[in-house]
Amino acid sequence: MSTLASASDPGGDGGGDLRQSVDAALLHQLLQAALQYADCCREVIWQIRRQGIETDAKPDLSVVTNADLAAERAFRESVERDFPQMGIIGEELVASRPQAAYQWVIDPVDGTADFACGLPTWGSIIGLFFQGAPIVGVIDHPDLGIRVHAAHGLGAYRNNERIGLEENTSSRRALSGRIGLPSRSSFIRCNEDGDIFDILAHAHPDFRALRTCLNHTYAATGQLDAAVEWDANLWDLAATRIIVEEAGGRYVCVRERQQPGAGKLYCAVFGRPALVDRIAALLAAHV
């Protein structure tokens, strides 16, 4: 599954981008389905919130709510109905058809702890991969009224308005940049990588710290110049690469590794291309 989040050559062998073989009509259908699934997740989550949020702890002590579970179940039922031959990978439930060429990936509530205590910074993430490369992505922030989405070759959009990332014309911003980081706890959750957080914070002191996909949305829309994700699961990054790249940005996976008890984890930087390249080079010297 490593190529799902990290492949720089979607063909896998230098032979071209296999996504070009996806029929245009099917791609549009898949994008519309992803947007409808995001609507469905939004309604399910809001309904659960009206009825009452119930929280529990997973084995890793992270928070899960009845909204996470209900939204992922609703998503899976929709995919099973519409595309029964396709695979599904989710944060909360067991993967189905992991060998299928098309893989739907979902994080129903990214930032569950924020959601559970009433902060609006959480989001729902939906991605679709073909042969290990992203073709559709949606990040939805219901409480903020923000949704970004993209499909391969069709551009990226924020609330249905086309978005595009351009390089900064300000020399100061181009060199330093305003970046988004997860909290320091993300760097020490599985590894003792706190020094990497410190290096990034020293190089980019005007950083913003968020533990949710809102960092990803801000990087895709240019509200941040770049963002870093550290030791994230596949579902945390399921929509990011396709949205950032379709907006004209760059996405670089700087590390992927297998973590006992957590599966494959990814470290990535994404946003405006020149700054992403500089941050990736900085990180490459320390990972």
Q: Which among 226, 283, 233 is positioned nearest to 256, based on CA atoms? A: 233
Of residues 139, 168, 122, the one with CA closest to residue 243: 139
Give the angle 47-53-55 at the CA atoms, nearest 5°.
140
Domains of the chain: 3-163 (3.30.540.10), 171-284 (3.40.190.80)
> How many other CB atoms sit within 10 Å of the CB of residue 240?
31
CA–CA dist 7, 272 (Å, integer): 19
Question: Is-contact 37 82, C-beta < 8 A?
Answer: no
pLDDT under 70: residue ranges of the chain: 1-15, 168-176
State residue 15's pLDDT score.
Answer: 53
Whole-number pLDDT of residue 9? 34
Count CA atoms closer than 13 A to 46's CA, side-chain side.
Answer: 9
Closest to 124 (Cα-Cα) out of 88, 152, 148, 153: 148
CA angle (221, 231, 197) in 5-degree steps? 75
Q: Output the pLDDT for position 173.
A: 53
Helix H or strand E encompassing 279:
helix 273-284
CA distance 223 to 225: 7
Q: pLDDT tens for residues 212-251?
A: 999 999 999 999 999 999 999 999 999 999 999 999 999 9
What does the block give as tokens for 199?
Answer: 């290096």
**pLDDT on residue 6:** 44
User: Letter for the amino acid at 92?
Assistant: E
pLDDT at 46: 97
Query: Which pair of tokens denotes residue 41?
Result: 């997740």
- Answer whether 139's CB lies under 8 Å from 152's CB: no
Instruction: Quote the pTM value.
Output: 0.92
Round to whole Å and give the CA distance between 107 and 126.
7
Under DSSP, the state recorded for 20 is: G
pLDDT score for 59: 80
Distance CA(170)–CA(250), nearest Å, equals: 19
CB atoms inside a 10 Å sphere around CB 16: 12
